[in-house]
Amino acid sequence: MIDLQGRVAIVTGAGGGLGRAHARLLAQRGARVVVNDLGEGAETVAAEIVEAGGKARAALGSVTDAARMQAIVDEALSAWGRVDILVNNAGILRDKTFAKMSLKDFRLVVDVHLMGAANCTKAVWDAMRAQNYGRIVMTTSSSGLYGNFGQSNYGAAKLALVGLMQTLALEGAKYDIRVNCLAPTAATQMLEGLLPPEQLALLRPDLVSPAVLALVSDAHPDDPVRRRRRFRGRPHHPDHGHPHSRRSAVGGNPAGTAGRGYGPSRRDRSGSGLGAEPAGAAQGRIHRSGNGGRRMT
Ligand SMILES: NC(=O)c1ccc[n+]([C@@H]2O[C@H](COP(=O)([O-])OP(=O)(O)OC[C@H]3O[C@@H](n4cnc5c(N)ncnc54)[C@H](O)[C@@H]3O)[C@@H](O)[C@H]2O)c1
């Protein structure tokens, strides 16, 4: 059983949906959890955890506010002495076809998902390097990995997180900082109204959280492909080949989970700006195939 006693975790956007489920499970396994969200949901979830016998503190603030995220990390460090786990989960949607989408909405979504994750990761990075330990999970999406109608902003931001993960996994490896992506599907407010109730009932957020637990555990599996690619000394530029791998080798995620499967193509006809993820994604690893490409399993 995965035991997180002694670990300190930060989960962003944990006032509801998947983040709440992640925070509760990490606390159940012994982690002290910082529950971040924009509003009082963070306080409610922190209180739920404490009531259940766990340790949690609420930390309100937007992931887009780098200074606030640094302050939250500094508060956790002074209260609990360390930060071991960061789950970059906060997210929003502003769905529209690209033709109808304003650049303001494009930027907003990129700012929350990509810059939000970068802000929070930057805020923990030095502390994780100094303690020679860290586990970071980015929340990507099948909309980024495959594309989804009406989600150009979201898909772009979500695939950018995969790129961020790939590089940080390389840069963090020597400090035992492991960085991975999760591409979930769950019945949260993001999926509201898009699937029949009997299908939504099967997509409980707490069924996704064990994947996060595995990715943030001490014994998180490392990947032989990445181990081979790990380069001693200078940075690796994939366009220029690599001393330890074939020229065609790009990417490769150490046991990262990524979604697969296409959900129903959909479009936010309501004009509300709110939509949801495609259904049908499942967790799997990104592997490099024998020819240096990738396949999903
Ligand atoms: N639900 C799915 O099927 C699905 C599929 C793929 C990816 N995801 C991703 O999973 C993550 C969680 O989504 P969810 O389905 O639980 O949605 P949700 O809307 O229930 O939860 C998102 C949470 O993030 C918070 N949030 C939004 N902007 C924030 C900000 N600037 N700073 C801090 N918190 C902020 C919200 O208040 C909310 O509590 C998101 O990154 C989402 O893109 C969800």
Distances (CA, A) of 118 to 64, 136, 202: 9, 11, 32
Q: Establish whether 146 is a catalytic residue.
A: no
Residue 168 Cα, ligand 1 centroid: separation in angstroms?
22
Does residue 242 lie within any of the structural domains? no
Q: Which helix (H) or strand (E) holds 229?
A: helix 224-229
In short, whether 18's Cβ falls inside 6 Å of ligand 1 is: yes
Backbone angles phi, psi at 101, to 5 degrees: -80, 135
The Å distance, Cα 59 to ligand 1 centre, comes to 16
Q: Is the CB of 144 under 6 A from ligand 1?
A: no
Q: Is 13 near ligand 1, meaning CB less than 6 Å away? A: yes
Question: Whole domain around residue 38: which residue ranges?
Answer: 8-235+248-296
**Mean pLDDT along residues 281-293:** 30
Render pLDDT for 4-63 as a digit per residue (tens, 0 to 9).
Answer: 999 999 999 999 999 999 999 999 999 999 999 999 999 999 999 999 999 999 999 999
Q: What stretches of 110-236 adopt beta strand conformation (E)? A: 134-139, 177-182
Q: How far apart are the first and last CA of the chain?
A: 25
Asked, for residue 83, whether it belongs to a domain, the answer is yes
Check pocket membership of 184 for ligand 1, CB cut-off 6 A: yes
State both tokens at 246. 């074939």
Radius of gyration of the chain (CA): 19
> Which residue owns the Cα nearest ligand 1 atom 41?
91
- Decide if 31 contacts 49 (C-beta within 8 A): no
pTM: 0.82
CATH number of the domain within which 207 lies: 3.40.50.720
How many angstroms does the Cα of residue 216 sit away from the middle of ligand 1?
19
Domain count across the chain: 1
Q: What is the pLDDT of residues 146-192, one digit of tens each?
A: 999 999 999 999 999 999 999 999 999 999 999 999 999 999 999 88
9 beta partners: 33, 85
Look at residue 243 and tell me if it is in a domain.
Answer: no
Least confident piece of the model among 18-32, 69-83, 268-282: 268-282
C-alpha–C-alpha distance, residues 32 and 49, integer Å: 10
